[in-house]
Amino acid sequence: MVTGKSIRIYLPSGSINGIRHAEIANWTGQALSCPRSEIKSLNDWDEVNSPGVYFLFGADDDGQHQAVYIGEAENVRDRLKNHVSNKDFWNEVICFTNKDESLTKSHVKYLEAILIEQAKDINRYHIQNTISPNKPTLPRADRDAMNEFANNVRILLGALGHKTLESYATITATPNNKEQTTKLRLLNKNAFGERVSDGFLVHQGSEMALTQSDAQRKTTIILFEQLIKEGIVVENKESYDFAQQYLFSSPSYAASLLNGYPTNGLDAWKNEQGQTLKEIEAS
């Protein structure tokens, strides 16, 4: 059963462009977001002078993809000083610590391991970590507590503008309280996808045309070449197949690229009952 969350975000400078302190009601954890340009201001925040995990956000080398580095430290503030000197890609850090100072080194190492694992599985951002750390051994109660902590990290990251740990799938409740997704198929194509909160998600294994017509937009052609170059699609005998799920900005953008020619996605994507996406959304 889905339960609501109450989140409080404090802006000490009165601006969303500065430091932001975020917390969830009735939770002892806390988040502190800081632009790299104001990193010295963290010296005034004791909240980061303790064990915790942190996320460095920026872009990868080609500037085309969002990137993140996930780390842990016994003293987050001291670790960030090293990253200012040694890591160039990031422009924002979000730190997570506990108000009651109950997090230990083993706790934050466990958190780091499961957060990196989740971020890689979801694959929204390019992960800058070169290794996947092993989870330390914790008592069962501590493991459950850290898993709950990680879930609240996911929620606060989203509230602060980063869906790093958010699954793409759209879950809807049915009248009998069962959860389901709306899976759609592209007309005359072995390709599947679904409308999600931030675009249209094409599923792994979907087919894409081997070529693109001259009528396609230039941006579509560029994306076609980029997907091939990055190995997101792999060539088969009669098509390219998606090696992983991929998020498009709209159903029409997805349908056009997969078909190889301009396509109205609202009419081309249909559910198992034969309803178009346009008809589904209208109802």
- Per-residue pLDDT tens for 208-231? 999 999 999 999 999 999 999 989
65 within a domain of the structure (yes/no):
yes
List of long-range contacts for 275-282, beta carbons under 8 Å, 24+ apart: 277/184, 277/195, 277/251, 280/182, 281/195
Q: What is the mean pLDDT of the chain?
A: 91
Structure tokens at 35: 């632009």
- Do both 152 and 186 map to the same domain? no
Question: Could you tell me which residues come within 8 angstroms of residue 37 by beta carbon, excluding any fewer than 6 positions away?
Answer: 91
Are the beta carbons of 143 and 110 closer than 8 angstroms? yes
- 134 pLDDT exceeds 50? yes
pTM of the model: 0.81
Is residue 167 a part of any domain in this protein? Answer: no
Q: Classify residue 166: in a domain, yes or no.
A: no
Q: Which domain covers residue 215, as residue numbers?
A: 172-282
Cβ-contact 278, 266 below 8 angstroms: yes
Least confident of 46-50, 110-114, 145-149, 180-184: 180-184
Letter string b/e over residues 266-278, b meaning 16 or more CB atoms within 10 A of that residue's CB:
bebbbeeeebbbb
202: CB partners within 8 A, 6+ apart = 191, 192, 193, 242, 245, 246, 247, 248, 254, 258
pLDDT tier for residue 196 given thresholds of 50, 70 and 90: confident
Split into its structural domains, the chain has a count of 2
* Domain contains 1: no
Given a cut of 70, whether residue 179 has pLDDT beyond it is no
Give the residue-averaged pLDDT of 20-42.
95
Could you give phi then psi for residue 25, rounded to 5 degrees?
-55, 135
In the prediction, which pLDDT does 279 show?
Answer: 92
Residue 266: which of 169, 187, 182, 206 has the closest Cα?
A: 187
Helix pair 140-159, 105-122: axis angle to 10 deg: 50
Last residue of a domain, one of 127, 159, 191: 159
- On whether both 131 and 215 belong to a single domain, the answer is no
Q: Is the pLDDT of residue 101 over 90?
A: no
CB-based contacts of 133: which residues, under 8 Å, 6+ apart? 109, 112, 113, 116
Residue at a domain's end among 137, 159, 181: 159
Amino acid 10: pLDDT: 97
Q: Is residue 152 part of a domain?
A: yes
Whether 79 and 189 share a structural domain: no
pLDDT band at residue 267 using 50, 70 and 90 as cut-offs: very high
pLDDT (average), residues 164-178: 62
Same domain (yes/no): 151, 253: no
The dihedral formed by the CA atoms of 223, 229, 234 and 240, expressed in degrees to the nearest 10 = 30
pLDDT for the residue numbered 181? 57
Q: What pLDDT was estimated at residue 169?
A: 66
Contact (CB, 8 A) for 66 and 81: no
Say if residue 14 is in the same domain as residue 152: yes
Residues 17 and 91 in one domain: yes
Q: Phi/psi of residue 146, each to 5°? A: -70, -35
Domain boundary among 159, 187, 213: 159
User: Does pLDDT of 64 surpass 50?
Assistant: yes
Establish if 165 belongs to a structural domain: no
- 72/145 same-domain check: yes
Amino acid letter, 153: V
pLDDT above 60 for 40: yes
Judged against a pLDDT cut of 90, whether residue 197 lies above it is answered with no
Whole-number Å distance between alpha carbons of 130 and 140: 29
Tell me how far apart the alpha carbons of residues 18 and 93 are, in angstroms, rounded to a whole number. Answer: 12
**Is 50 exceeded by the pLDDT of residue 176?**
no
Residues 122 and 258 in one domain: no
My answer on whether 25 and 142 are in the same domain is: yes
d(CA 209, CA 164): 30
3-state helix, strand, coil in the chain (%, to 5): 35, 25, 40
Q: Does residue 201 share a domain with residue 124?
A: no
User: What is the pLDDT, as a whole number, of residue 1?
Assistant: 64
